[in-house]
């Protein structure tokens, strides 16, 4: 109860003028990055990462929350208008939103997506506020062997949820290999430096993140035909909607059913808690569930508004869910929360169960910022800026990407003051570009970069404390619990994945 009150007291901090300014900046950066095809909210936070070095941590986290919530939502704008998801999580929105657009109901589809996102985001944030203190009190009981088993659980689940698990293992191994360069965490020995003194301190987290996510994306985007992109976005530019077009009627919302909003929120939240699952999976599962229970499943794929609402509600509810394991256990729920964890690490915060106990005064405004970002989605998008969101794609692509290129490369310098680290970021960017081309997932990479060193540290410390006896992982109840959970997930998740795929194929055939 004390912790819930502490979280609620964060409201006072969020409503300070400077906090609101950072939240607004984050919110609109998120909207822009989410709405533009090729850019994501994760990339926005990656680019903001080096700038947070000189900012108080509370403001940095508040800004990240604004980016996170609005970036997930705004992926729906281009998904609906030009059939290209602004963010990967808006893929299911394309399937229903664009057919609605073709029927002349584009503004209404955006309105439904906004309401769904606001409801999902708010429920997700509220669940986060009320459940994470409980998770923290449980997390504090976890001792070192349990922490190792927990990270092992997270790393295994991250691989299992990926479509191509073999490639996920390689991506993860690459992340761990890079994160082990430098000083050994327990002994004063340097590893994998190959005689290069620049590597003794290891590769900076900012270098790894900017290289893997920003620089690789720049290489990928360089192949996009500018004329074709402009032609495609001109279609969205030419649309003219009145504010009133965005408002769905209560009758329409009643037809969708309140249960769809609530159920999708819970689905999104629960999937968010699962390490590595992310917004795309939340939207997919929620969409499949909406289709299964819909009175008009034949409408799906032709502009079913309940499908669109289910996907959009779930992917925003996921934000609150993904922050639960990150804040209470130090395990990021998706790629974006992994980068937010990186922001915390920049400030010297060690992720783990102690985080909320020791730093609650700093973290509390972050909860409220997430809640406010979700709550203001509806008034800001429907009453004020909705028609302008459609113009975001008008931003000159050349100016945008060349600015990102400069911010990204200078960001590495700002974080490290080293041209060597800039070169390392470039090399990592090249490798990750090839990985991306061959569909190697990047979420296992970033989670491995963050969790790999902790995994090693807890494993070796546990075994040192037990005089090298590996039974320590079985005899400790918390550790045994996570090991059993790992086994259960290893069996159940692939089955659930297969069943969901079969169900979706079966419906498509029908």
Task: Tell whether residue 187 is a contact of another protein (CB under 8 A).
Answer: yes
Euclidean distance between CA atoms 236 and 337, whole angstroms: 31
Task: Tell whether residue 500 is a contact of another protein (CB under 8 A).
Answer: no
What beta strand segments (E) does 103-218 contain? 182-183, 190-191
Q: How would you class 407 by CB atoms within 10 Å of its CB: exposed for 0-12, middle for 13-18, buried for 19 or more?
A: middle
Q: Name the one residue in this structure whose structure tokens are 């034949």.
A: 298
Nearer to another protein, 103 or 437 (CB): 437
Size of the site for another protein (CB under 8 A): 65
Nearer to another protein, 140 or 463 (CB): 463
Q: Quote the Cα angle for 424-428-432, to 5°.
A: 170
Residue 326 tokens, joined: 């990150």
Nearer to another protein, 85 or 182 (CB): 182
Task: Tell whether residue 199 is a contact of another protein (CB under 8 A).
Answer: no
Helix (H, G, I), strand (E, B) or coil at 242: coil
Task: Tell whether residue 218 is a contact of another protein (CB under 8 A).
Answer: yes
Task: Tell whether residue 445 is a contact of another protein (CB under 8 A).
Answer: no
Q: Are 136 and 328 in contact (CB under 8 A)?
A: yes
Nearer to another protein, 1 or 398 (CB): 398
Task: Tell whether residue 225 is a contact of another protein (CB under 8 A).
Answer: yes
Task: Tell whether residue 443 is a contact of another protein (CB under 8 A).
Answer: no
Q: Are 2 and 8 in contact (CB under 8 A)?
A: no
Nearer to another protein, 220 or 354 (CB): 220
- Residue of 1, 2, 17, 54 interacting with another protein (CB under 8 A): 54
Task: Tell whether residue 385 is a contact of another protein (CB under 8 A).
Answer: no
Task: Tell whether residue 496 is a contact of another protein (CB under 8 A).
Answer: no
Helix (H) or strand (E) holding 351, with range, is: none
- Residue of 397, 432, 442, 454 interacting with another protein (CB under 8 A): 397
Nearest one of 287, 265, 311 to 508, comparing CA atoms: 287
Nearer to another protein, 4 or 414 (CB): 414
Phi-psi domain of 467 (left: phi exceeds 0; alpha: psi -120 through 50; beta: other) = left
Nearest one of 398, 312, 396 to 95, comparing CA atoms: 312
**Closest approach of another protein to the CB of residue 460, in Å:** 5
Nearer to another protein, 430 or 503 (CB): 430
Nearer to another protein, 94 or 155 (CB): 155
Task: Tell whether residue 184 is a contact of another protein (CB under 8 A).
Answer: yes
The CA dihedral of 455, 459, 461, 467, to the nearest 10 degrees, is 180
Residue 53 tokens, joined: 């070095």
**Closest approach of another protein to the CB of residue 189, in Å:** 5
- Residue of 1, 259, 399, 471 interacting with another protein (CB under 8 A): 399
Task: Tell whether residue 57 is a contact of another protein (CB under 8 A).
Answer: no
- Residue of 143, 191, 243, 507 interacting with another protein (CB under 8 A): 191
According to CB under 8 A, which residues from 118 to 177 bind another protein?
A: 166-167, 169-170, 172-174, 176-177
Residues 6+ apart with CB under 8 A from 487: none
Length reported for the chain? 510
Concatenated DSSP letters of 15-45: TSHHHHHHHHHHHHHHHHHHHSTT--HHHHH
Stretch touching another protein by CB under 8 A, among 18-26, 130-138, 231-239, 437-445? 437-445
**Closest approach of another protein to the CB of residue 259, in Å:** 42
Task: Tell whether residue 291 is a contact of another protein (CB under 8 A).
Answer: no
Task: Tell whether residue 436 is a contact of another protein (CB under 8 A).
Answer: no
Residues 6+ apart with CB under 8 A from 322: 272, 273, 278, 332, 333, 334, 336, 337
Task: Tell whether residue 25 is a contact of another protein (CB under 8 A).
Answer: no
Task: Give, as one character, the DSSP assignment of residue 257.
Answer: -
Task: Tell whether residue 195 is a contact of another protein (CB under 8 A).
Answer: no
Task: Tell whether residue 21 is a contact of another protein (CB under 8 A).
Answer: no
Give the CA distances from residue 157 to residues 141, 236, 398, 444, in Å, rounded to whole numbers and listed in that order.
22, 39, 39, 10
Applying CB under 8 A, the residues found at the interface with another protein are 51, 53-55, 166-167, 169-170, 172-174, 176-177, 180, 184, 186-187, 189, 191-192, 194, 215, 218-223, 225-227, 396-399, 401-403, 405-407, 409-410, 413-414, 419, 422-423, 426, 429-430, 433-435, 437-438, 440, 455-456, 459-460, 463-464, 467-468
């Amino acid at each position: 109860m004390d912790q819930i009150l502490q979280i609620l007291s964060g409201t006072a901090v969020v409503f300070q003028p400077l906090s609101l300014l950072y939240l607004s900046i984050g919110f609109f950066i998120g909207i822009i990055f989410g709405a533009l095809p090729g850019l994501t909210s994760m990339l926005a936070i990656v680019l903001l990462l080096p700038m947070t070095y000189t900012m108080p941590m509370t403001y940095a986290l508040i800004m990240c929350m604004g980016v996170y919530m609005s970036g997930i939502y705004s992926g729906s704008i281009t998904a609906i208008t030009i059939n290209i998801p602004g963010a990967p999580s808006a893929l299911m929105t394309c399937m229903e939103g664009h057919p609605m657009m073709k029927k002349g109901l584009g503004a209404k589809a955006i309105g439904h997506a906004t309401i769904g996102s606001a409801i999902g985001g708010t429920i997700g944030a509220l669940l986060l506020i009320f459940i994470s203190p409980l998770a923290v009190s449980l997390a504090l009981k976890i001792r070192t062997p349990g922490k190792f088993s927990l990270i092992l659980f997270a790393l295994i689940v991250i691989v299992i949820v990926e479509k191509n698990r073999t490639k996920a293992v390689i991506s993860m191994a690459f992340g761990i290999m890079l994160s082990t360069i430098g000083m050994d965490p327990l002994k004063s020995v340097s590893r994998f430096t190959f005689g290069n003194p620049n590597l003794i301190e290891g590769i900076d987290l900012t270098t790894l993140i900017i290289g893997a996510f920003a620089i690789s994306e720049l290489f990928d985007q360089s192949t996009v035909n500018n004329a074709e992109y402009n032609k495609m976005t001109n279609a969205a530019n030419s649309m003219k909607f009145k504010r009133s077009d965005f408002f769905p009627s209560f009758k329409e919302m009643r037809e969708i059913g309140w249960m769809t909003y609530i159920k999708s929120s819970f689905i999104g939240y629960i999937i968010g808690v699962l390490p590595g699952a992310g917004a795309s999976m939340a939207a997919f599962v929620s969409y499949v569930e909406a289709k299964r229970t819909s009175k008009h499943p034949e409408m799906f794929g032709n502009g079913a508004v309940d499908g669109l609402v289910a996907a959009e509600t779930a992917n925003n509810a996921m934000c609150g869910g993904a922050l639960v394991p990150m804040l209470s256990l130090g395990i990021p729920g998706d790629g974006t929360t992994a980068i937010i964890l990186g922001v915390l690490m920049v400030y010297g915060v060690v992720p783990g169960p102690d985080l909320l106990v020791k730093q609650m005064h700093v973290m509390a405004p972050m909860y409220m910022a997430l809640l406010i970002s979700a709550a203001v989605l509806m008034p800001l998008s429907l009453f004020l800026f909705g028609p302008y969101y459609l113009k975001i794609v008008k931003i000159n692509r050349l100016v945008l990407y060349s600015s990102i290129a400069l911010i990204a490369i200078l960001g590495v310098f700002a974080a490290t003051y080293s041209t060597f680290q800039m070169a390392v970021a470039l090399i990592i960017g090249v490798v990750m570009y090839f990985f991306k081309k061959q569909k190697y997932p990047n979420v296992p990479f970033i989670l491995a970069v963050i969790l790999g060193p902790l995994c090693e540290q807890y494993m070796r410390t546990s075994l040192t404390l037990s005089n090298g006896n590996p039974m320590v992982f079985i005899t400790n109840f918390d550790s045994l619990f996570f090991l059993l959970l790992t086994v259960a997930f290893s069996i159940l998740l692939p089955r659930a994945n297969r069943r969901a795929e079969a169900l979706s194929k079966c419906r498509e055939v029908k």
